[in-house]
């Protein structure tokens, strides 16, 4: 057992960020050190975001835990999940491990070509078979457009702050599904969006946050 990873998980559990056994086990199974840059591996188990290049970050562990707790029921009961701004690939692996169906599939969308390559390299360490079977896919594309080809999705995680909720993502959220997304410019709020059986949306503001913006590639690189 990785003592540093175990200590991080224990601390998140004590703080009430990790609340369920499944999120705890997923955190212990997906080793964050595989998804951070070589220069930051000494900080892999610290609870803060780390730069992964190209003005992108891997979120702090507590935010990943918070997101997974909010999405856990939809991931366990769902077949398709979408991770927008998938970065180094960490959350794609974590979301996949939470899903129970043999047909489970997680699609990560990332618009920085170098991060697509980096995430595939990271995932290949422990999730080579899932990549081969296309159960985990990393797509180069604009996250604001989602990935319609594999939708609808029972769970959607957005890892960058949108000024307004992208309509394409709302359209690709399945009935009965849930999306978590930071929204706002400057003052951001983490929102939980549920779509009921009739397609009606319920939006809750749950937490003040600070994420990199969900924008086009040129603006991100020049940010």
Q: For Cα atoms 72, 76, 79, give the angle at the middle one, nearest 5 degrees.
A: 120
CB neighbour class for 74 (10 Å; exposed up to 12, middle 13-18, buried from 19): buried
User: Is-contact 66 12, C-beta < 8 A?
Assistant: no
Q: How far is 38 from 29, CA to CA, in rounded Å?
A: 20
Closest by CA position to 64, among listed 8, 102, 128 = 8
Q: How far is 80 from 88, CA to CA, in rounded Å?
A: 20
DSSP-derived pairing of the beta strands 188-195 and 173-183: antiparallel
* Active-site annotation holds for 119: no
Q: How far is 76 from 155, CA to CA, in rounded Å?
A: 10
Asked whether the CA dihedral 143, 145, 146, 150 is positive or negative, the reply is negative
End-to-end CA distance of the chain: 39
Strand partners, 162: 183
Spot the catalytic one: 20, 29, 39, 59: 59
Using DSSP's 3-state secondary structure scheme, residue 21 falls into helix
Catalytic (active-site) positions: 59
């Amino acid at each position: 057992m990785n003592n540093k990873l175990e200590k991080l998980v224990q601390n998140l559990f004590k703080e009430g960020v990790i609340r369920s056994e499944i999120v705890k086990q997923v955190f212990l199974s997906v080793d964050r050190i595989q998804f951070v840059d070589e220069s930051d591996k000494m900080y892999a188990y610290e609870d803060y975001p780390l730069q992964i290049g190209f003005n992108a970050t891997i979120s702090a562990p507590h935010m990943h835990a918070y997101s997974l707790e909010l999405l856990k029921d939809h991931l366990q009961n769902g077949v398709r999940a979408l991770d927008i701004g998938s970065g180094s690939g960490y959350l794609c692996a974590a979301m996949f491990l939470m899903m129970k169906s043999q047909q489970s599939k997680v699609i990560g969308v990332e618009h920085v070509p170098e991060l697509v390559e980096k995430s595939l390299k990271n995932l290949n360490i422990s999730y080579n078979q899932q990549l081969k079977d296309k159960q985990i896919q990393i797509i180069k594309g604009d996250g604001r457009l989602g990935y319609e080809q594999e939708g609808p999705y029972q769970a959607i995680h957005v890892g960058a702050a949108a000024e307004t909720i992208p309509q394409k993502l709302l359209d690709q959220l399945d009935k009965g599904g849930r999306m978590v997304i930071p929204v706002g410019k400057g003052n951001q709020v983490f929102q939980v969006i549920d779509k009921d059986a009739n397609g009606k949306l319920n939006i809750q503001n749950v937490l003040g946050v600070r994420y990199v913006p969900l924008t086009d590639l040129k603006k991100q690189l020049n940010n």
